[in-house]
Structure 1
Amino acid sequence: MTSSRFGGALAAAAFLISAPAVAHVTFENGQANPNSTYKAVLRIPHGCDGKATLKVRVRIPEGIVAVKPMPKAGWKLETTKGSYVKAYQVHGEAVSEGVTDIVWSGALEDAHYDEFVFQVRFTDAYQPGATVYFPVVQECDGATEEWTQVPAAGEDPHSLRSPAPGVRIVGAATAPQVAKVGPLTVEQPWSRATPGGAKVGGGYLRITNTGTAPDRLIGGSFPLASKVEVHEMRMDGDVMRMKPVDGGLEIKPGATVELKPGGFHLMFMDLKEPLKEGQSVKGTLSFEKAGTIEVEYTVRGMGGAAPAEHKH
């Protein structure tokens, strides 16, 4: 691999592992369904100007009910309750008050990372397409980080210095996307949103071979990229390395292979424009024996995880 190609691969690996940017406080899963219960996993990646985090405060927005924070070993947990602006219907009952603030008190060194978990329910105050922002404040020894900025209409949240972590409301879950070519079945193609200026993106999916002979995924096409390559990430000692899969990725008879972050994946090279959350982008996959198949990638948020496995 040439030095420029190696440098590009390292940059791509860093993006695929760390997206979204580690500097900000974010949720592990940045999407939720309307009128649903949501498990919020808040990620705290650092302290305040090198100082340890002593308190994590979360403000619950109006329209969010049934708040249940998870106790955390070694941390004191406190909540504040109050009345809502209006009553909300939850399982046929009117709810007019509940938790409005959560505070964890303890100690988290600047060099360490941790997660703070709570459960909420989104009411019909938020419909698909809306993003709900949860202001978060880190209190440290003599310093504070306020993750409270909310983007104005049309403003890119990634341009804000201290954005509040958000959850985008998406449509109710539908049946998984399935495409077939010969004995191969491709399920749930997806990608992650990319920041402005990013030159690479990742493609993820599951491939099942129901035939009696092996096949190989050798590439494909993606309209927003100059080419598509099959790559692999793996630990080499203490270092995460990424490289193209020579000769393509083998799909053995009767096997299911999952392409996912941190393992085998597709690399969209030389992106022409950023991938945006909520997009659906059509592309193709090329197999050595089965040929070409059309697929459609759903672009999830930068913190998006793989779709839940669909049981047949």
Structure 2
Amino acid sequence: MHKFTLAAFAALSVIPFTAAPSKAHVSLLQKEAAPGSYKAVFAVPHGCDGEPTTAFRVSLPEGFIGAKPMPKPGWTIEIEEGDYAETYRLHGEEVSSGPLSVTWSGGSLADSHYDEFTVRGTLAGVEEGERLYFKAVQTCSSGKEEAWDQEAPAGEDAHALDNPAPFVTIVAEHTAHHDHAAADEAGADTAGDVSVSSAWARAMLPGQSTGGGYMTIRNEGQEPDALLSVSSPVAGKVEIHSMEMKDDVMVMRPLEGGLEIPAGGSVTLEPGGLHLMFMQVETPFAEGAEVPVTLEFEKAGRVEVVLPVRSARAGRGQDAHQH
């Protein structure tokens, strides 16, 4: 029989307990999304044991098609293309091949710094509840690699893994809309002090030649800015429109002189109020497609934005006009 003396217990009781430090994981900012346009923003919180990150590679999963990476100053982009396992429809055409991986290299992200890497594409042929894993590899200055490629078995928490692969869970469209504002803010399109988030366009009816676009524009600067003009390659003309009640009739008219964005404030374009009016549209916007738009600001300059097309039912309760 072993004796456990009081002296021994006292000695053990002063031994400090130190929890093993947890490692911050590479992750996606938007962890849930409905089928359609999806901006995958990868948060990279550290390097490799003190070394800076000099390359970041992401393998694109089946079901994420038509990918386009966002350039980063000081980094070069390499895109590996190949065949998809299936054939999909994208912008009204069948596609069976496209980008399979994206690598950013040539830059330097210090271990003490944080950065984001972005790829925009379309979620297609996916089902509610499905997880799409974007397996990633960090390469650091010594050549050491940190692979984020572990998939959690069904029912298990991915955070329990040492190197979990970033993933997005597919949800129904109405569920995803609740999270659009926060997710879009995280991946907002910016220029100067101006950022554009929560951007979308409404699906159009067959034969319709006008459509509506919506977004939130925020100005973090100390002076007001103004949205002067809008253009899109899919519309002959784009105007900023206002809507107001006049003699019990909803009147829509172009906004003259541009749209002012107050210093430190924001303006929301939404159904039933200020909105973008796409005119002379030859091919009606289809749900799941994307509408590229160029916004010209007086001070911030040009901002390129892609508007995912959502159901024609979106916002209908606020806007009786189908545009």
Q: Give me the TM-score of the superposition, normalised by structure 2.
A: 0.47
Greater C-alpha radius of gyration:
2
